[in-house]
Amino acid sequence: MNFFSKYKRLIFIILFIIVVIGIAYLLYIVFFRQNINPSLVSENPPEENAEIQLPEAGPNLNIKPTGSSEENVPSAEKNEVYGPITGTEESVDNKAMGGVTKTDKVIGGITINPTINNQTGDIQYYDPFDGKFYTVSEDGTIRPLSNKVFHNVQQVTWSKNSDKAVLEYPDGSNVVYDFNKQQQVTLPKHWQEFDFSPNSNQLVMKSLGMDVDNYFLAVANSDGTGSRVIEFIGENYKKVYPSWSPNNQVVALYAEGLDYDRQTVYFIGLNNENFKSMTIPGRGFQFQWSPQGDRLLYSVYSSDNEMKPMLWIADASGSQIGENRQRLNLQTWANKCTFANGEEIYCAVPTSLDYGAGLMPALADQTPDYIYKINTKNGARQLVAIPDSNITVSSIMISPDKSKLFLVDKNTGSIRQIKLH
């Protein structure tokens, strides 16, 4: 067998492959290869490392970031609520002058129901971590009010002169503690929701017995003795709010809904006085007395206001109950306000509120507040401060000399202060 015969099959396979490759190349040339236009090829390509020239911006183009047009900048003259706003260190005022204002930390830990001693100006509070009560003086010195430890206190109700407090526990136990005498008295478990009289010597509370037939509003001495029934409250007990007025006339309020957007507020006297009632638009009644007890600041929500809280004020003494009722046109809750005097109040006002926030206040738990000053006689309001800490305020207090506001942080329980101008 010669060489050709031996490798004939292999030679034919190699030739076949060469022919297929040649045909494929011809097809590529004819149908797929793009012709290069010589005019698109630069005869002088850029030199290596040549500088790339960017287009120059013309004069006075006034280029602004997207969404920061001057039309969107809030006007302070409108006295509307915006936020949150933070300022640079240079733009933060040390005193409240209507802009971003420095807030100094007074108490960094959690506090429960703090109060101001109107005689000393000190802040008094309960610390849930170690179970003790403390007082903070104006210079920041912290000292214990008592060496006694009260673990797991859920609610603290202070007397008007801050020398006593009712402590309520999760299991329903209640004690009243006298800080001057360092004495503790146990109160009945069926007593709930307390308030002290103006002289701090008496208590008003709900006395909730075994069933609704034994539900009463009652008063007693601050040590628990001498209790007596004021009025039967029965199945309406949840609508009754024990609150002793500063003028010593009223010991509780009772709010009865008339329809979806109205309710009547009844004033319950210490000696069964037949006070006038007050019919108001809105639901979700929150309130606080003026320092003299002759006026009532309150907040309600209604469908006319997208179910958001709205502040109102009205006369609340004797024959004047319900008179001179005025809408203050601020969307906030009454418990986020404090009276500076008989006419002026300071309020923490949320920067924004969702629909239904009056019905569900938790919707505003993460919303920062601005601080407003309102004249309740003529309705004039003034933006006092934008706290630099973006704080959500649960309550607000004012020092006896009116030089400082104390803001309780709803989310941390800490307390910060703002110096007033």
Going from the C-alpha of 130 to that of each of 149, 183, 360, the distances in angstroms are: 7, 19, 32
Interstrand relation of 100-101 and 104-107 (parallel, antiparallel or unpaired): unpaired
Check whether 44 has a pLDDT greater than 60.
no
Mean pLDDT of the chain: 84
Residues in the chain: 421
Cα-only R_g, the chain: 37
> Which CATH superfamily is 80-420 part of?
YVTN repeat-like/Quinoprotein amine dehydrogenase (2.130.10.10)
- The pLDDT of residue 51 is 35
pLDDT tens, 197-254? 999 999 999 999 999 999 999 999 999 999 999 999 999 999 999 999 999 999 999 9
pTM for the full predicted model:
0.78
Q: What percent of the chain has pLDDT over 70?
A: 79
Distance of CA 419 to the CA centre of its chain: 20
- The pLDDT of residue 259 is 87
Distance of CA 227 to the CA centre of its chain: 37
Tell me the residue type at 278: M
Check whether 288 has a pLDDT greater than 50.
yes
Element (H, E) at 102: none
Residue 274 pLDDT level (bands cut at 50, 70, 90): confident
- Contact in structure between 389 and 337 (CB atoms under 8 Å): no
Domain boundaries, the chain: 80-420
pLDDT tens, 108-145? 999 999 999 999 999 999 999 999 999 999 888 999 99
More confident residue, 259 or 350: 350
Q: Using CA atoms in the order 154, 307, 297, 168, what is the torsion angle rounded to 10 degrees?
A: -10
pLDDT tens, 148-164? 999 999 999 999 999 99
More confident residue, 50 or 321: 321
Check whether 8 has a pLDDT greater than 80.
no
- The pLDDT of residue 9 is 64
Segment among 47-51, 190-194, 291-295, 326-330 with least mean pLDDT: 47-51
